[in-house]
Amino acid sequence: MTDGFSYVTLIGDVIHPGNLNVISEASKRGEVIVGLLTDKAIAERERPPFLDFQQRETIIKNIVGVSKVVPQHDWCGEDNLRKFKPKYVIHGDDWIHNNLSPVREKTIKIMSEWGGEVIDIPYTQGINSSVIMTARREFGTTPELRLKMLRRLIDSKPLIRIMEVHSGISGLIVEHAEIEKEDGLHYFDGMWSSSLTDSTSKGKPDIEAVDLTTRLQDLTNVLECTTKPIIYDGDTGGKLEHFVFTVRTLERNGISAVIIEDKMGLKRNSLYGTSVQQTLAPVEDFCAKIQAGKRAQLTKDFMIIARLESLIAGHSVDEALERARAYVEAGADGIMIHSKEKSGMDIKEFCQRFRKEFERIPIVLVPTTYNQFREKEFQEWGANIIIYANHMLRASYPAMVKVANSILENERSLEADELCMPIKEILNLIPYYE
């Protein structure tokens, strides 16, 4: 144990007076080493940081009083504590009563092994956590930062939760939705721009005739008021030459990934009905499209994900795996496997067999039909990304029908009030910049 040596844990995404106060108190006791939480460690309990580890490290190293910065891979920092054996751990006293209290208890136990001390300093008053969260979100409003976020999430979280959006207001709901649970904060990591819900929200059929420019005009409404990464539903990707243009355009706008499906012919939603026959694209043609898209992109961060329609078309898991291997070889950054089988057993078999062959290629699932499974089960299968592909639109339609019928029935809107969100709450959702 080093005399007068203090240890402090920080996130470092937004530095506020409370952080500086902790460092100041620690420096009064000698040299200060900061355990800087990694993206993966942060994501265990709350939203991942907008600044990456290297950016946050640069900031913390330049704070007066900090002697050294080291990566911290969990909220307790057990490995670092045992390695450096500090005399003091300095922390704000808010962790006595909040969801970090088990971390505090564990830290006290570890420090007692060499006579170290945990010092809880008074929480700095006047720190508004909602203001801090707003500031953190503003870091992610550039196309470059948004584009990179999906890969960062895949590297830092065991499972990523994506929700469909089709308008600015649905984007804001997904941006802010969160629930505190025993294992930390639960929220949506990103958004799905669905061709189905985009066209349906306009009262039009889900066909591939809607061009990219039209789709992007509506997606811009989401981009302007949110910060989370977006995965774009690219249908089949169109002709090879068109797909090259699509990749460049999406990348330029800060979209993180496009998913394209390996079927041909007139666009018809895969879950439409059993009578719809899917025609799969020749493997070599779809691989050529993936390769052309990968050559077209300008950054290493953009992702092209291949969606397999084999199971929808009535083929075997073996056939789906054969196609998946070819698509990975062609450069696909991830594989999405789709099925309308309610048991989900074909999906489970595919995931488990694919994961044995490809340890690091992300698997994307859209459990619309086999929604009896929980996210932890999908994670056990080997899945990385879960997309809730149409639920925001499907929820809005029955709600609007109820309100419309209520007004017709009662010839006034009073009875509909209990079905409607107050105007003040709606206005509070909309960002206001002075």
Handedness of CA 41, 44, 48, 49 (dihedral sign): negative
Which SS3 state, helix, strand or coil, does residue 24 take?
helix
DSSP 179-226: EEETTEEEE--EEEE-HHHHHHHTT----TTS-HHHHHHHHHHHHHH-
Sequence-distant (≥ 6) Cβ neighbours of residue 207 within 8 angstroms: 199, 266, 267
Where b means 16+ CB within 10 Å and e means fewer, 10-19 reads bbbbbbeebb
Cα–Cα distance, 371 to 343 (Å, whole number) = 9
Q: Which of 52, 79, 120, 206 is catalytic?
A: 206
Cα Rg for the chain, rounded, in angstroms?
A: 25
Handedness of CA 238, 244, 247, 253 (dihedral sign): negative
Sequence-distant (≥ 6) Cβ neighbours of residue 118 within 8 angstroms: 88, 89, 91, 104, 107, 108, 111
Cα–Cα distance, 430 to 411 (Å, whole number) = 31
| Residues 232 and 255: beta-carbon distance below 8 Å | yes
CA atoms within 13 A on the CB side of 186: 8
Bridge-based pairing state of the strands 363-365 and 385-388: parallel
Element at 125 (helix H, strand E): none
Told to judge if 183 belongs to the known catalytic residues of this protein, a careful annotator would answer no
Cα–Cα distance, 56 to 171 (Å, whole number) = 28
Cα–Cα distance, 252 to 299 (Å, whole number) = 10
| Number of neighbours of residue 8 by Cβ within 10 angstroms | 24
| Residues 143 and 299: beta-carbon distance below 8 Å | no
Cα–Cα distance, 165 to 104 (Å, whole number) = 39
Edge to edge, the sheet with strand 88-92 lists 68-72, 32-37, 6-10, 88-92, 117-121
Bridge-based pairing state of the strands 190-193 and 263-264: unpaired
Residues that are catalytic: 206
